[in-house]
Amino acid sequence: GDSVTQMEGPVTLSEEACLTINCTYTATGYPSLFWYVQYPGEGLQLLLKATKADDKGSNKGFEATYRKETTSFHLEKGSVQVSDSAVYFCALSDRNTGKLIFGQGTTLQVKP
Amino acid sequence: DAGVIQSPRHEVTEMGQEVTLRCKPISGHNSLFWYRQTMMRGLELLIYFNNNVPIDDSGMPEDRFSAKMPNASFSTLKIQPSEPRDSAVYFCASSMALAGGSQETQYFGPGTRLLVL
């Protein structure tokens, strides 16, 4: 079945460091891809998405490009802030059902 | 819009008691999803509805779990009887299903933190 694999955390960075969180997927067909973020004690918020190959999603300085050839959707940010500390989830969506399949989540901790 | 609304935000109950979690989806959305989040298993889809009709309940763990959506603006997830292993955060999400069957982005509620003693 469809699946999503994320790099294991926690990831600990200093403020202004570069971030990459790897995400690869296995799917039949052409799913939409998402990054959700979960701040402590809160629900999941959509961070960005891409719906077809080579699309780049971006929001709040984060970017991810839908790479069909490598089945990847890595999350990147050039300069992280303490406020970016959260759990990040990569997910794919079955286009017909809308069901989301999540990776296991990657905890990011940014230190001042 | 207020977003997806869930209640209660926190619930502490004793084993064997009935627990009812509530969700109000975003107005105009016609798909609703219930998820469970635990440290051990991560995020799991329990059930989802389209136009108030349950489409896939294969993620519902046992007969102790049931979900209803009596109208487009309200859904419940019930656990009866509850057990300590049901302790988790339960999220509700909603989205819009488009013509042709494709789905738009899911928007999540803040979750209900359930502790069964």
Q: What is the pLDDT of residues A52-68, one digit of tens each?
A: 899 999 999 999 999 99
Q: Which residues contact B78 (CB under 8 A, 6 or more apart)?
A: B18, B19, B20, B21, B65, B66, B67, B68
Answer whether residue A73 shows pLDDT above 60: yes
- Which pLDDT score is estimated for A69? 94
Sequence letter at residue B65: F
A9 interaction partners in chain B (CB closer than 8 Å): none
- Considering only alpha carbons, which residue of chain A is nearest residue B89? A43
Beta strands in B16-111 (DSSP E): 19-24, 31-38, 42-50, 53-56, 65-71, 74-79, 88-95, 107-108
Chain A and chain B share a number of CB contacts under 8 A equal to 55
CA dist B32 and B51 (Å) reads 9
Gap from A41 CA to chain B (nearest CA, Å): 8
Q: Which residues contact A85 (CB under 8 A, 6 or more apart)?
A: A108, A109, A110
- Considering only alpha carbons, which residue of chain B is nearest residue A49? B105
∠ Cα A84 A89 A90 (to 5°): 120
**What are residue B19's DSSP bridge partners?**
B79
Exposure letters B27-38 (e unless 16+ CB within 10 A, then b): eebbbbbbbbbe
Answer whether residue A79 shows pLDDT above 80: yes
Q: Which member of B4, B33, B42 has the closest CB to residue A104?
A: B42
Q: In which residue are the tokens 């460091």 written?
A: A17
B57 touches chain A (CB under 8 A): no
Q: In which residue are the tokens 């300069």 written?
A: A79
> Which residues of chain A have a Cβ shorter than 8 Å from any chain B Cβ?
34, 36, 42-46, 49, 89, 93-100, 102, 104-105
At B62-104, the pLDDT tens digits run: 899 999 999 999 999 999 999 999 999 999 999 987 765 556 7
> For residues B109 and B3, is the Cβ–Cβ distance under 8 A?
yes
Q: In chain B, count of helices (H) and strands (E)?
A: 0, 11
Closest CA to A21 of A29, A31, A30, A11: A11
User: What is the torsional sign of CA A76, B42, B45, B7?
Assistant: negative
Give percent of chain B with pLDDT exceeding 70.
94
Model confidence band, residue A106 (pLDDT cutoffs 50, 70, 90): very high
